[in-house]
Structure 1
């Protein structure tokens, strides 16, 4: 049953290089940024607006969330015709199957109108180039557990951690011990059961 759980997602670890794309004298500068919340979006947009003070449009799309049930996204046309910029950018986020990402395409108008079809194509291309310039990584969705036990049970607990190759993220080893572990989602139920079966050891999930 657990093997069918999808516990991986794709994202970028660091911002992409700046990519420049031109169409009928308009210049499109595109960027991809890793994000974890909407404050990150505001910060990156503010930085770009300082960098491109004479640009006419800062169109973007972002997606946050590692699992379908928790995904939020937004697409912003920033003054371009409805759905001619933000949604084509978001379409590339979906196409590359990435999340926790912001893509911004900055446009300098070159005096020649592109039309809605031309804009859709240009913003899609800008987003695609930013993603192609990014290093996309596949990461695992993990669940954190807090394990509590008395010092005399240290060997039993550590044996499980070693056998199952578990990742310790925090520990306090005194008379009363606490260890925080990070476990891949598909293995979480099994690990929970193992520790629950050890007498005088308590384990609980840490809400993220």
Structure 2
């Protein structure tokens, strides 16, 4: 069963004067991963490379960021796959120490940085989320918001027009029972869409 991480986890290793700062963290999608990489470039302006790998909902990426092809991103991605992770990205920031490591040395360094970060990471079972949209009369908005909150759903965008549209996500196994309960409480005055 695929797992994800509950929180970011970090590592740091020194190999022949080069510093490798690794991080594994949960991410929702490629957009979140790209935002993380952009932030790392800003936080580490003196770094030679910010390499990364992503596994998120069938979307994967392996970026070497100037390192020789296949020596950083793909080995990092292989570590994530080996641990059966999803919704996770790995990043390694490298400060070059002046000594070339060769292709094999780079593969080992990037792999070790990710593997060490995973050693202290807390893995949790991955629960697929279903995105739902509920249209409700204004009079029922408070009731529906309380039901969403008590179910542990994640409320997203709320649009106010002729009715209120509440967008939220809920673990897939809980969707059918939640929709049935909310439809009953709403006495048939709720509308559902994906």
Specify if TM > 0.5.
Answer: yes
**Taking structure 1 as reference, are residues 205 and 130 closer, same or farther at Cα in structure 2, changes over 3 Å only?**
farther
User: Does the C-alpha gap of structure 1 residues 142 and 112 become closer, same or farther in structure 2, counting only changes over 3 Å?
Assistant: closer
Q: Among residues 109, 112, 116, which one is paired with 1:122 in the alignment?
A: 109
Shift of 1:119: 0.7
Per the alignment, in what secondary structure is the counterpart of residue 9 of structure 2? coil
RMSD: 3.9
- Relative to structure 1, is the Cα distance of residues 205 and 128 closer, same or farther in structure 2, using a 3 angstrom cutoff? farther
The change in CA–CA distance for 1:192 and 1:115 in structure 2 (over 3 A counts) is same
The superposition leaves residues 56-76 of structure 1 with CA deviations (integer Å, 9 ceiling, x where unpaired) of 0111101111xxxxx111000
The count of aligned residue pairs is 181
1:50, 1:167 → 2: CA distance?
35
1:84-134 C-alpha deviation (Å, 9 max, x unpaired): 100000011101111111211111111221111111111111111122232
User: Which of 96, 107, 110 in structure 2 is aligned with 1:109?
Assistant: 96
Q: Tell me if the contact between 1:57 and 1:79 (Cα under 8 Å) persists in the aligned partners.
A: yes
What is the aligned partner in structure 1 of residue 139 from structure 2? none
TM-score normalized by the length of structure 2: 0.70
Structure with the greater alpha carbon radius of gyration: 1
Uncovered stretches (5+) of structure 1, i.e. residues with no partner: 1-5, 66-70, 149-160, 171-177
1:81 is displaced (CA, Å) by 0.9
Give SS of 1:121's match.
helix
Contact 2:129 2:171 in 1 (8 A): yes
Q: Are residues 206 and 137 of structure 1, via their aligned partners in 2, closer, same or farther at CA, if it must alter by over 3 Å? A: farther
The answer to whether the 8 Å contact 1:11/1:139 transfers is yes
Q: Distance in 2 between matches of 1:169 and 1:45?
A: 25
Residue in structure 2 matched with residue 11 of structure 1 by the alignment = 4
CA distance in 1, matches of 2:166, 2:32: 31
1:1-208 equivalences under 5 Å are 9-17=2-10, 19-65=11-57, 71-143=58-130, 144=132, 185=172, 206-207=193-194
